[in-house]
Amino acid sequence: MGSLAFARELRRATSCGLPPWGVVRMMLELLIALCLVGAFAVFVLPDEYAPKAAFGISLVPLVLSLYMYLTFDGVGNALLGGDIAFESQYQWLTLGSYDVSWFMGLDGISMPLVVLATLLTTLAILASWTPIDMRQSQFYGLMLFMEASLIGVFGALDFLIWFVFWEAVLVPMYFLIGIWGGARRKYAAIKFFVYTNIASIVMFVGFFGLVFGLGDSISSLALPEIAQALRAGELGSLGAFGPEQLALLAFLAMFVGFAVKVPVVPFHTWLPDAHVEAPTPASVMLAGVLLKMGTYALLRYNFTMLPTIARDLAVPIAALGVLSILYGAMLALAQSDLKRIVAYSSVSSMGYVTLGLVAYTMYGTGGATFQMVSHGLISGLLFACVGVIYNTTHTRMVGDMSGLAEKMPVTAGSFIVGAFAYMGLPLMAGFAAEFFVFVGSFDAHFAYSTVLTALAMFGIVIVAGYLLWSMQRTLFGPFRSETDYDVTTASLHDVAPLLVLLVCIIALGTFPYDLAFERVLDATEPILDTTVAAVGGGS
């Protein structure tokens, strides 16, 4: 029995013991409320109680999200008329001729990302116990507030509600970098905020160009209504711009806005500074979840709402994806700071998502979505490993240490497994994600798809180069540390997040269909229907 069928059987079998249906429908609201209430509770706690309280509070949304995942019974794509899971919609206000409602729900694209957000938040909080020793109640309160905002981004189905959550994520990350970051934390925090905020404005203008161009064909800012109207060809003229020009300009504005968040080369320059200066738990959240906001939005808005434009621009978009893969990998190869190496590797990995999305094939689009989850786990693991190493050695420079495997065997083993997962070792999540993307992009219908796919595959060779080099220099050989600190085995609360992520990476790579990919395909295949029909085939 497939996982979707199993979930529906589980829902039916346990229906007598479930809470009232209205409560089940509002599970997303419950998740967000728990995180917000927990954030404010932690804010007012004394510092000595904040770490354990925040960890305990974060376990509740994690358990609830796993329950939602097991009982998930959504069908199809939430924007294209699918059966939305945990759906709730309530009229809020009217802006001119458009209704704004509290509209929440999940499909096979957003459900795994909600679980990813709750899992990494819990693990990042646990990993914070050693490095965060000042203003702890504020730090952990901001982490829980960010979790609430992330759940809202992946669950909101009304644009205005979604945009509020989208912008709300910037606030805690800005303070996490600016207060608890490294020596250049203020510069990195301001750069992060300015880049992403300007990008949001550009995206906002592009989206409302589409809204105004649709005119009377829509009556609300609900994303399903807007997406279906656009795909039905109801976009009209706006001022001097005809429908085709308006669609192209809106696509480009939204693409640039989301590409900064991904980030896609050449909009990536804020990311290494933010990662290097951010405290390690914030880096785990930034790479593991916040970057997925950009790729998730690209899929929801650009590639779902305007598939024809995406098809027309497939070659330059795919080329940007491949450029990100190769350029990010080459920059990583030139670094000597472990954190900067992992940061640039995220730029490279997000290029695979871009390439898969624009392929518009079953395995391409589905594989890109699967890669979001896979990369979230792997990048979270590697940043957590770097954090444990820094907590003990107080350095991240590759040339300042060697032979750490002798002193820190669990951390070193976790780093090795995470690195090989990045390289695409079979039976790990990275292999499954990249394999799906390569199969899908190789079979894409745009020009030079095979050449671009081959170049993207070559990127794995560069990835292997910088990861093997960094492991060989830091983990193996005779033990040496250029710092005055004793290098000892990390504490249990430091290594526990590593072990949990290891299990998730191996499980997802061993059983990709049963654990996630079947749900993902169920939600991504409807995106392909009209575009496949337009070109007369597809995978």
Banded model confidence at residue 8, pLDDT cuts 50, 70, 90: very low
Locate the domains of the chain by residue range.
Answer: 313-539
- Tokens 């871009």 sit on residue: 354
CB 282 within 8 A of CB 125: no
Q: At what angle do helices 110-127 and 492-510 cross, to 10 degrees?
A: 160
Mean pLDDT confidence for 366-388: 94
How far out from the chain centre does Cα 398 lie? 28
**pLDDT band, residue 530 (cuts 50/70/90):** low
Cα 375–Cα 380–Cα 381 angle in degrees, nearest 5 = 105
pLDDT of residue 403: 85
Instruction: Give the confidence band of 245 by pLDDT, cuts at 50, 70, 90.
Output: very high
User: What is the residue type of 82?
Assistant: G
* For range 14-27, the mean pLDDT: 54
Q: How many CB atoms lie within 10 A of CB 320?
A: 22
pLDDT exceeds cutoff 80 at 122: yes
pLDDT band with cut points at 50, 70 and 90 for residue 485? low
Q: Residue 405: what pLDDT?
A: 85
Closest to 321 measured CA to CA, from 378, 364, 275? 364
pLDDT of residue 304: 95
Q: How far is the CA of 506 from the CAs of 49, 61, 113, 379, in angstroms?
A: 34, 23, 18, 14
The reported pLDDT for the residue numbered 16 is 43
Task: Give φ, ψ of 47 to 5 degrees.
Answer: -55, -35
- What is the DSSP-derived secondary structure letter of residue 517? I
Separation CA 460–CA 57 (nearest Å): 39
Percent of the chain with pLDDT over 70: 92
Over residues 488-512, the pLDDT tens digits come to: 777 888 899 999 999 999 999 999 9
Give the model confidence (pLDDT) of 310-321 as tens digits.
Answer: 999 999 999 999
Residue 539 predicted with pLDDT over 70: no
pLDDT of residue 172: 95
Identify the band that residue 21 occupies on the pLDDT scale cut at 50, 70 and 90. Answer: very low
Residue 443 and residue 526 in contact, taking contact as beta carbons nearer than 8 Å: no
pLDDT of residue 271: 87
Would you call 22 helix, strand, or coil by DSSP?
helix
pLDDT above 70: residue 2: no
Helix H, strand E, coil C: the string for 342-408 is HHHHHHHHHHHHHHHHHHCCHHHHHHHHHHHHHHHHHHHHHHHHHHHHHHHHCCCEHHHEECHHHHC
| Rounded-to-integer distance, Cα 187 and Cα 244, Å | 41
Tell me: pLDDT of 365 over 90: yes
Per-residue pLDDT at 13 exceeds 50: no
Neighbours of 376 (CB within 10 A): 29
Q: Could you write out the three-class secondary structure of 434-474?
A: HHHHHHHHHCCCCCCHHHHHHHHHHHHHHHHHHHHHHHHHH
The answer to whether residue 481 scores a pLDDT higher than 90 is: no
Quick check: 394 pLDDT over 50?
yes
Give me the percent of the chain exceeding a pLDDT of 90: 68
pLDDT for 504: 96
User: Given the structure tokens 């292999």, which residue do they identify?
Assistant: 431
Give 92: exposed, middle or buried? Use CB within 10 Å, 0-12, 13-18, 19+: middle
pLDDT of amino acid 484: 58
Out of 64-68, 265-269, 301-305, pick the least confident. 265-269
DSSP state of 298: I
pLDDT, tens only, 426-446: 999 999 999 999 999 998 988
Q: How far apart are CA 231 and CA 534, in angstroms?
A: 12
Mean pLDDT of all residues in the chain?
Answer: 89
Query: How much is the pTM?
Result: 0.92
**Residue-level pLDDT at 97:** 86
pLDDT in tens, 321-346: 999 999 988 988 888 888 899 888 88
Give residue 259's pLDDT.
Answer: 94
Render pLDDT for 91-104 as a digit per residue (tens, 0 to 9): 988 888 899 999 99
pLDDT at position 147 over 90: yes
Indicate if the pLDDT at residue 22 is higher than 60: no
Q: How do 480-481 and 401-402 pair as beta strands?
A: antiparallel
Q: Is the pLDDT of residue 10 over 80?
A: no
Mean pLDDT of 229-238: 91
Least confident of 29-33, 279-283, 463-467, 479-483: 479-483
pLDDT at 538 over 50: no
Alpha-carbon distance 73 to 62, whole Å?
19
pLDDT at 298: 96
> What gap in Å lies between CA 277 and CA 270, rounded to an integer?
11
Residue 104: strand pairing partners: 88, 156
Average pLDDT (524-531) is 79
Top pLDDT among 275 and 2 is at 275
How confident is the model over 50-71, as a mean pLDDT? Answer: 95
Residue 487 has pLDDT above 80, yes or no: no
Q: Is 89 helix (H, G, I), strand (E, B) or coil?
A: strand
Per-residue pLDDT at 18: 44
